[in-house]
Structure 1
Amino acid sequence: MMRRLIPAPSPAWLVLPALGFTLLVFGVPLLHLLRMSFNTHPPDGIYELAWSLENYVAVLTDPVNLRTIRDTVLLSLITAVVTVVLAFLFAHAVWKRKGRVHLVLLAIALCPMLVSEISVIIGWRMFFPANGFLSYALVGTGLAEQKVNLLGTRFAAIVGLSYISVSYCFLTILSVMNAVDRDLITASGDLGASPLRTFLRVLVPLTMGGIIGAFTQAFVFSMGIYAAVNALGPDSLWSIGYEIQRQMLSRRDWPLASAFAVVLIVLISLTVIGLHALRNRRGPRHD
């Protein structure tokens, strides 16, 4: 009697456990968040059940809230650009080296991942003030005549945000570089292209998919992080994350905080979708 062959399960069935876990852990809280954003905030409580759009109207029409959204997006875009440039240059340096130098540079690049965000913030708060290391170094080397205080500036906030996300961007770009055929770089030089022209016209286009992926990572991280912005940036710089925290803990206005969170999720989602489409069109995928 011939044994009946059991058909192999479809690959789609293999993702069902992970999909179910994702929907349970992230989908259900997201639905609660969305529902909370339509409630109202009573003067003597946290929220009242309702179906109102007043929270979204407040988020999208109030000048202070619009400035918060604008500052968050601009800060995240600038941070993403700075982070990708630094990560790309360092990934290129690691990619060109071999042996022990390659391993040492790789270990240096991974160091920021081993430090918690709170430790990073404390370290930069000791680096940027007038009595910090940077100020003493500038005065000691003669580059500045008097002490310099960079704490509480947008520059300090960008540095802190970039430091937090640079290692992840570095790994993304380096993984794409490792898939590049080095013979193409050699052929470009043999055909008379200068190193700079080879870098800009050959290597950058071949790694564009990784660059866009790294930019997406840095942008998403910067949009969601608020502790570094609050601790290193100026008092006038409010991020969406900080506003959500303030509404939740200080004002106890959960509906408005939920509306801010929904707007933040929509902004990040639209950006990721746009960058993903650009990545598929401009560069090869290395998933």
Structure 2
Amino acid sequence: MSSADAISRRSGISGLTANIPWLLVPGLLFIFFVFGWPLLYLLRMSFNDHPGATVYVEAWTLRNYVFVLTDPGMLTEIAKTVYLSVVTAVVTVTAAFFFAQFVWLREGSARLIFLAIALGPMLISEVSVIIGWRMFFPSNGLLSYAMTSTGLSGQKINLLSTELAAVVGLSYISVSYCFFSILSVLNGIDRGLLTASADLGASPVRTFFTVLLPLAKGGIAAAFTQAFVFTMGIYATTNALGPDSLWTVPYEIQLQMLTRRNWPMAAALSIVLIVIIAAAALVTQWLRHRKGSRHV
């Protein structure tokens, strides 16, 4: 390559590099108008007042936040939402991790079949998931029929409108996303490390806790927050499968917005929910940078 060609090539690369910030402008504008502007409007709405006659009147008041953060009923709903999200995240990540580990150790067509199975829940809408589990959990549903037919239960059982049903439904929605997050980390791990650990005399249990689990912590943290965020924002599944006493923040938001027509209160609840989710995301980012984030 001649010196003139080299100079021309460097000049072209420099010109492209100089234009990169301008190439980002359309994407940044799209993000701002689609996500940033509605979020700013939501934040502004949370400081408005609700006199009762109209959905809101413009004001600058902290009354909504004070009520959300001090009212016992609201605090109970926040605590229930966080509790349900944590339990669901633990169940989902546990199931996703062991299934991801199983698929990670497979080869060839078997691996492709299991990957296709893992994609299944992602292709089903939330409404279909709710209908399916509502046909599975009641006393005349598939689970009760299977238990009585096999003799495992002497009478019909009804698990619909229980916290167990809500957790199962919520886990089903987010398990595929958690599975692929964890599998992406496992794919970056050398399987020879497991073999080396066994050759050095470590038991499978010790190899799991001292070799595999530490290397997969980044993916587990990402999957946990993913399931946590999904559960924090869903109310239809919880409302349809869980008990009537299981009031969550998303359900309260739609109640304030659509039924009570209290938009400022709904906005304040939404901001509180966003702050909790953002805190969880920040913790996940810290864990990912601290523990093998390059694989996620």
TM-score (norm 2): 0.93
Q: Unpaired runs of 5+ in structure 2?
A: none
1:158 corresponds to: 167
2:209 corresponds to: 200
Q: Output the amino acid matched with 1:40.
A: D
1:135 and 1:16 mapped to 2: Cα distance? 57
Match of 2:295, SS state, is coil
Greater fraction helix: 2
Q: Output the amino acid matched with 1:171.
A: F
Once the 2 structures are TM-superposed, how far is the Cα of residue 20 of structure 1 from its aligned partner?
A: 2.4
Match of 1:181, SS state, is coil
| 1:104 corresponds to 2:113 | yes
Q: Which among 130, 145, 155 is matched to residue 146 of structure 1?
A: 155
The one-character-per-residue Cα deviations of 1:122-143 (angstroms, maximum 9, x if unpaired) are 0000100111110111111111
Moved runs in structure 1, 4+ residues, more than 3 A? 10-17
2:181 and 2:284 mapped to 1: Cα distance? 15
2:130 corresponds to: 121
The one-character-per-residue Cα deviations of 1:180-228 (angstroms, maximum 9, x if unpaired) are 1111111111111112221221111111111101011000000001100
1:79 and 1:19 mapped to 2: Cα distance? 34
| 1:31 corresponds to 2:40 | yes
RMSD value, Cα: 1.5
Mapped contact 1:205–1:283 kept (Cα < 8 A): no
Q: Which among 239, 242, 253 is matched to residue 251 of structure 2?
A: 242
Mapped contact 1:206–1:284 kept (Cα < 8 A): no
Once the 2 structures are TM-superposed, how far is the Cα of residue 148 of structure 1 from its aligned partner?
A: 0.7
Farther off after superposition, 123-132 or 3-12: 3-12
1:9 corresponds to: 17
Q: Which among 19, 38, 46 is matched to residue 55 of structure 2?
A: 46
State how many pairs are aligned. Answer: 286
Match of 2:144, SS state, is helix
Q: Output the amino acid matched with 2:176.
A: S
1:20 corresponds to: 29
1:265 corresponds to: 274
| Residues 49-88 of structure 1: pairs in structure 2 closer than 5 A | 49-88=58-97
Q: Unpaired runs of 5+ in structure 1?
A: none
2:99 and 2:223 mapped to 1: Cα distance? 13
